[in-house]
Amino acid sequence: MSIISRPYFWDEQAAHAKLEEIVWPNGPVCTRCGATDRIGAVTGKGARAGLKFCCRCRKQFRATVGTIFEGSHVPLHKWFQACFLLSAASGAISPYQLHLRLEVTNKTALGIVNRVAWIIGSASSSAFDGCQALASRGQAPSCSQRPARRRPGRGPNAVGWDELPWMQFPRRPKRQFLRFVETVEEFGCVEDEARFEHLLSMIGTNPVNRPRMILKASSGAPMAVGFARTARGNLERATV
């Protein structure tokens, strides 16, 4: 089974279930009081995906608390798509290209790249001896370098519904997921599941100090025109 056909790349509930396996390997833990029992899932119409309720302190929480996903309005499955593209693409993917593929704003795409670059750089400098930090991250393209603002058309590598095994899933993915699959083929992404799993474990097991992260990301110039190649190299050295 191809990694890009995993449900957590297009289904929000599956994405939260995947993150919970990494953040809570032994079951849910309340982020406020630390309780491990009397924790239930919040269900019903309008309930957010992956939302838990602690009956001891009577607070709601999710597995995203304390990670780079906390406080983001971007669906978690799109975060997973961005993490995969940034770490597996054979060429550099800019925030502008993520903005088109993920169907988010350009500012949001830049924020995604900044957060992923921050967590990989932090993990590389603290957890992996001999790993070089992400020193070369490039600059955001200037107005004269930016490509024309037009949506990418369906080229010869376009993927259709009949080419993907959706019949085994209870819910059909949205059309944005097809754009993600096309992007994987267009950029020649290496479907290395072990590398992607390692990136998710780095995100899930490295607590984030959000004010410090935001200050550090906003103090420098915008990053990541050449981030994908550097991030992939760090992950390859860390998984050897």
Give the residue numbers spanning the domain of 49: 25-61
User: Is the domain of 40 the same as that of 115?
Assistant: no
Judge if 153 and 112 occupy the same domain: yes
Q: Are residues 44 and 117 in the same domain?
A: no
The one-digit pLDDT tens for each residue of the chain (240 residues) are: 688 889 999 999 999 999 999 999 999 999 999 999 999 999 988 889 999 999 999 999 999 999 999 989 999 999 999 999 988 886 678 899 999 999 999 999 999 999 988 887 776 544 433 333 332 333 344 444 444 444 444 444 444 545 555 445 556 677 899 899 999 988 888 888 888 999 999 998 877 765 445 544 544 434 444 444 455 555 555 555
Residues 110 and 190 in one domain: yes
Whether 18 is in a domain gets the answer: no
Residue 135 and residue 49 share a domain: no
What local confidence, expressed as pLDDT, does residue 175 receive?
85
Task: Give how many domains the chain has, as a whole number.
Answer: 2
Distance CA 17, CA 205 (A): 16
Contact in structure between 228 and 85 (CB atoms under 8 Å): yes
Q: Cα separation of 179 and 158, whole Å?
A: 8
User: Does residue 57 sit within a domain?
Assistant: yes
Residues 88 and 206 in one domain: yes
What is the reported pLDDT for 236? 56
In a domain, 235, yes or no: yes
Q: Are residues 87 and 120 in the same domain?
A: yes
Residues 152 and 122 in one domain: yes
Residues 57 and 78 in one domain: no
Is residue 104, in this structure, part of any structural domain at all? yes
In a domain, 106, yes or no: yes
